[in-house]
A and B are shown apart, each in its own frame.
Chain A
Amino acid sequence: MNILVIEDEPKAGNYLLNGLQELGYSVSLARDGVDGLHLALESAFDVIVLDVMMPKMDGWEVLRRLRKESDTPVLFLTARDDIADRIKGLELGADDYLVKPFSFAELVARLRTLTRRGPSREEEQLQIADLRINVLKRRVTRDQTRITLTNKEFALLHLFATHQGQVLSRSMIASRVWDMNFDSDTNVVDVAVRRLRLKIDDPFTLKLIHSVRGIGYQFDTQA
């Protein structure tokens, strides 16, 4: 995946560059709006991460000019948690936004969603190592053992299984599984994951759910 990051703040630019490169993406970094727009029009990117507050040319202007010639997906970053701001961005043709401070895992997840081409086909049958999930029948077995899950446990497991290898943040899990789109002060997600682990992982030697410290959880066959 080819990503263009337009961000004037040095530290933010650097960590976005490093972080995304480490995940195996090819990343270009522009330090201001003029360069960013130039790069965006010059070469083809799969997705653009655009900071709104920038000197010389702000993100809105970049977006406005970019949209005249290209419809590369744009995710904008804003420090202002203002409904008017978000609406403005989306009206100008942005595809998604994140409010600073945001979690890096969240950004990655959003970028993946933006670049996924076409609607993803819902798998009927998922298999990860010896874990089998029948999505339609909501039946889960591991090593031929039937595992009974509650609705939410199943939803959580399904989320993990469809995002294998990705680190999922707690807020993303809360949003996808319970439709709770705000950071609550509770550790509901941790508790739910622990309960899921009791059923999915604890009786078996191969662990599938891994805690990624400080970020969230990852579902993978290797730690």
Chain B
Amino acid sequence: MSLARPSLTLRLALIFALLAFLCLACLGVALYQGLERELIRRDDAALISRVEQMRSFLSDSNTVELIKSKPALFQNMLGNREAILSIGVPGQPQLLTVNPGHLRMPPVTATALNQPLALDDVRHVQQIDGVPFAFVSAAFSSSELGTVQILAGRLMTERTAVLAGYRLRVYLLATAAALLLALCGCLLVHRGLLPLRRLARHAHGIGVGNLADRLDSQDAPRELMPMIDAFNTMLERLSRGFVQLGQVSTDMAHELRTPINNLLGETQVALQQDRTLENYQTLLASNVEELERLARMLDNMLFLARTDPASALSQRQELSAADETERMADYFEGLAADAGMLISTQGDGLIWAEPMLLRRAIANLCSNAIKYGAPDTELLIQVLASPDGTTLAVQNQGMTIAPEHLARLFERFYRVDESRQRSTESNGLGLSIVATIMRLHNGRYGVTSEQGLTRFEIFFPARSAAG
């Protein structure tokens, strides 16, 4: 798995883990801060109550005496090496200093006399090693000693340890949850992608041989349905294309079979015994005819196979439709007259097309019309110009073509009469070439046949519309 193509599973697992960690860590931090605040408040309250206690103690003269005579009694009073207590009268030696931990004494700040203490009076500083130290000092007047200053403080080692433990637990839990969720994510994605892997396996198994197979949409999650549908439609198109391609190859092979058979047979028969010069000449001429037909078919097949719109379209010119239809009428005049038909042309306009392809298309339509037109009728070549393009219609009178044939007329090798009166002039490719030419020009083509009137129409988009 490269960086350019990261695994979806990995990505999702990482995102899961990160989100889980962030959520839990936030929660933990919030709780931690609440706890910390509460602990500080309680510690501060304890300090204040100690000072208040001492004050009430000191108002008793016995206590002062006791302190003076037996300070050791008080040394252990706090029961804690982290607490300090000092009592003194300004300008005199300290009355009592309890500092079993030998902590640095904070300076005693002057406070107003006999003020009741509030939580705000507790001051917080950091000891050298970063452990928070809280203290509160108060001054009051005693009947015995005059103004007395009391300072009570406490190093919060224990609280710090509790909080540190709490913090660690929060991080550990968050990490564990993150890992767990990452794992869950992995599993979920893995499971979620199961249908995709099944589809991939299935798709892998589809080849030219079983193009009719479709991806199974059963049990597939809804999100995958568009992909399955798209894939199946693509398969549909591919399989149609394959069938067509196969059909074309088969048809072409069949079409080739006849001329080759003629060539082979005639030549072999001719070689059976000595013949007159004229016989040989006839044979060779007949061979040339067949070979020319093969060459033409080859040419047409190549033309159809070569779908290179760019080169065809780059040679487009603006052509006068009347000139082109006139040229066609000229070209086919004799042939039509032979068939007892008269060619008439109608209309004018500009055609944006590659000249050779345009002529080829019209010529194919005209020769078709002459082939199937009834004697003593008219072959009409009509030009209908409109703002978005020009339509060329070639219309003949004759047999009506049944609707089931109409749609397939433009297919390669398609012939209306199955009996295929395979004549030298037809190879069943003419109309498919017209279709190809029109597709190259982004144009349209179509045919109608009603009441003996068959009309082929090709539409060339105007220069501005064709782009």
Residues of chain A touching chain B, judged by Cβ–Cβ distance below 8 Å, are 81, 83, 101, 103, 150-152, 174, 178-188, 191-192, 194-195, 213-215
Contact = CB atoms under 8 A, between A and B. Distances in A.
A187 B285 contact: no
B334 A192 contact: yes
A186 B142 CA distance: 136
Interface stretch (B162-170, B324-332, B458-466): B324-332
Given A81-B302, A213-B281, A213-B285, A185 B334 contact: no
B368 to A, nearest CB: 10
Most chain B beta-carbon neighbours within 10 Å: one of A150, A182, A185: A185
B282 to A, nearest CB: 8
B329 to A, nearest CB: 10
Contact of B284 (A181, A184, A192, A214): A214
Contacts, number: 74
B326 to A, nearest CB: 11
A188 B289 contact: no
Contact of B333 (A81, A83, A152, A184): A152
B338 interface: yes
B360 interface: yes
Given A101-B291, A188-B335, 19 more contacts: A81-B299, A83-B311, A101-B295, A152-B331, A152-B333, A179-B327, A180-B363, A183-B299, A184-B364, A185-B296, A186-B363, A186-B367, A191-B337, A191-B338, A194-B334, A195-B337, A213-B281, A213-B288, A214-B284
B356 A182 contact: yes
Nearest to B287: A214
A142 B353 CA distance: 43
Given A81-B299, A213-B281, A186 B335 contact: yes
Contacts of B296: 183, 185
Contacts of A191: 334-335, 337-338
Query: Interface residues of B toward A: which range?
Result: 35 or more
Contacts of B299: 81, 182-183
Nearest to A169: B292
A184 B285 CA distance: 19
Main secondary structure of the interface of A (DSSP, over half): loop
Interface of B: 281-282, 284-289, 291-292, 295-296, 298-299, 302, 306, 308, 311, 327, 330-335, 337-338, 356, 359-360, 363-364, 367, 370, 424-427, 430
A33 to B, nearest CB: 26
B327 A214 contact: no
B356 A215 contact: no
Given A101-B295, A183-B296, A214-B288, A195 B334 contact: yes
A185 B330 contact: no
Given A101-B291, A187-B425, A182 B360 contact: yes
Contacts of A83: 308, 311
B341 to A, nearest CB: 12
Contacts of A195: 334, 337
Given A83-B311, A151-B330, A191-B338, A180 B367 contact: no
A103 B292 CA distance: 9
Contacts of A152: 330-331, 333
B289 A214 contact: yes
Given A181-B356, A213-B281, A187 B333 contact: no
Contacts of B424: 187
29 contacts: A81-B299, A101-B295, A103-B292, A150-B333, A152-B330, A152-B331, A152-B333, A178-B327, A179-B327, A180-B363, A182-B299, A183-B299, A184-B367, A185-B426, A185-B430, A186-B335, A186-B370, A186-B425, A187-B425, A191-B337, A194-B334, A213-B282, A213-B288, A214-B285, A214-B286, A214-B287, A214-B288, A214-B289, A215-B288
Contact of A180 (B282, B292, B359): B359
